[in-house]
Chain A
Amino acid sequence: QKEVEQNSGPLSVPEGAIASLNCTYSDRGSQSFFWYRQYSGKSPELIMSIYSNGDKEDGRFTAQLNKASQYVSLLIRDSQPSDSATYLCAVRDSSYKLIFGSGTRLLVRP
């Protein structure tokens, strides 16, 4: 059973802080990694993708990938209350399937 694991949270951080969201996956053949943000009652929205080891930055977001440790993370700098949402880690396995974690709920306190 291929798995993607995330801490369900909630992760509570003060406004302006760095939020660190983590994800581990079981399939070593996984090729592509995605972070989606889902506001309550809304659909998942793609915010970051990463395919090779290292860091990838996009504005306030940084995705980090370590394939040896089977670990992917998302850093949100200068967190804002509007960042409060559930963040879903998604891993494309060695076939075509996108396996989703259960999500981490982030709460940014004003």
Chain B
Amino acid sequence: DAGVIQSPRHEVTEMGQEVTLRCKPISGHNSLFWYRQTMMRGLELLIYFNNNVPIDDSGMPEDRFSAKMPNASFSTLKIQPSEPRDSAVYFCASSWEGADQPQHFGDGTRLSIL
């Protein structure tokens, strides 16, 4: 079975550029999560979608960050304009809805903003 698929795996770009991260959740999962992981702050939840609808974006750090889920099999996280402090590993995770359902993570995108 295919897991959560993220692209690109690595992204290096200069500050000020637009960055788009992509995620394909596990087929049939109806909840999707974007996380950011840094050494200093650990894993932080950025935004949560349920049935393609954003439920909670309180973790999105600034207006420079935006996320969309146009259909059940695709989501994007966009940073515009990017800054060096956005450098981190960004993970997408998906799950079935339900308190007992674990989240399954993609391989992540390692983002470096120069």
Contact = CB atoms under 8 A, between A and B. Distances in A.
Interface of A: 31-32, 34, 36, 42-46, 49, 51, 88, 90, 92, 96-98, 100-103
A24 B51 CA distance: 32
Interface in B45-63: 45, 48, 50, 55-56
A96 B47 CA distance: 12
B107 A42 contact: yes
A6 to B, nearest CB: 10
B99 A92 contact: yes
B108 interface: yes
A100 B42 contact: yes
B105 A45 contact: yes
A3 to B, nearest CB: 12
Given A31-B100, A32-B99, A51-B100, A43 B105 contact: yes
Contact of B45 (A49, A88, A97, A102): A97
Closest 4 CB pairs of A and B: A43-B105, A100-B43, A31-B99, A102-B42
Contacts of A45: 105
